[in-house]
Amino acid sequence: MQGFAGFMWLLSMALIVFSGFALIDAAVRREDAYRAADKKTKPFWLIILGLAFVVNLIFDILSLLPIIGLIATIVYMVDVRPALRGLSGGGRKYGGSSSDGPYGPYNGGR
């Protein structure tokens, strides 16, 4: 039983870290990006992810509320976050536009 308890503790810690990361990520995104991506508002996601984080801290992982919080966190990470990153250019390693080459922007030989 001690091994199972250790596994459940690790799973609980992973869930706390996962929901904490999603909460921080939602907090640093711009408000207008949520509207531009046609997702719910930033305060909505901050409240949902904040509740998920607090529920993961308080309740046992085998209860229903952390599972609901996990589902909300997964929805944010799989659906909302990629849409926000696509709008803000967060997927590029160094930023810049799509016409940038390795030594700067391509200007068509001008």
Of 80, 79, 56, residue with least CA distance to 66: 56
Interval 95-110 mean pLDDT = 59
42: Cβ contacts below 8 Å, ≥ 6 apart: 26, 29, 31, 34
In tens, the pLDDT along 46-72 reads 999 999 999 999 998 888 999 999 999
Is the pTM above the cut of 0.95?
no
Dist CA 76 CA 87 (whole Å): 15
pLDDT at 96: 52
Q: How many residues does the chain have?
A: 110
